[in-house]
Amino acid sequence: MGKLSYGIDPGVVQDIAAEIAEVVASGIQMAIVVGGGNIFRGLKAAAGGMDRATGDYIGMIATVMNAMTLQDALEQMGIPTRVQTAIAMQEVAEPYIRRRAIRHLEKGRVVIFGAGSGNPFFTTDTTAALRAAEIDAEVIFKATKVDGIYDCDPQLNPQARRYHTLSYNYVLAQDLRVMDSTAIALCKENNIPIMVFDLTGRGNIRRAVQGESVGTIVGGFCEVS
């Protein structure tokens, strides 16, 4: 969405695609789960009176629009990309098939997962954790608008402290809401670390993938730092 109040900012899409292309060109396999909040938020619609399941389904369809937009930007840069959706849309995307997704990654293609998990009442955070476990991903990169996890809202408190590492248990116990609890629990169960970083910083995707300290890592740590 960028600085727009609604929809898709082509410049932002191009910037993100360029960073992804740089990472993929280095030989790293990457799968992406996209949200749809720039177009439609099911939870917000439900708060306004819409049936929650209906709102969530509309939100899932919105993620497919974003997935196709990102696919187009990547392929214009020469990066082979496949969109797989949890809700069948065979005219525009492949259905989600785990083995096919893994094979695409092995062939150097970027796989974009759209339509969430295909089920209402589950977030794209949970979808990311689920797909990561299914394709045996090494790490989840949670791209946000802040540079990590803080002990309080840094926009309200300039003295807020940014964590470098956190345990799954600490995130769950403190209800830090960096991802929903179902997603955190899935990552904990499958020992998948989560790197939370700022997507808006130029070059941050590459730096995060290379292991630089650009955010907060959630994992099986015994201590908080």
Annotated binding site for UMP: 36, 56, 117-124
Binding-site positions: 36-37, 41, 56, 117-124, 144, 150, 153
Classify 35 as helix, strand or coil.
coil
Please give the structure tokens belonging to residue 32. 């992406």
Binding-site positions for ATP: 37, 41, 144, 150, 153
Extract long-range pairs of 84-89: CB within 8 Å, 24+ residues apart: 84/111, 84/112, 84/113, 84/114, 85/113, 85/114, 85/115, 85/118, 86/60, 86/113, 86/114, 86/115, 86/116, 86/117, 86/118, 86/119, 86/127, 87/57, 87/60, 87/61, 87/115, 87/118, 89/64, 89/115
**What is the C-alpha to C-alpha distance for residues 20 and 9, in angstroms, rounded to an integer?**
17
Extract long-range pairs of 46-53: CB within 8 Å, 24+ residues apart: 52/120, 52/121, 53/120, 53/121
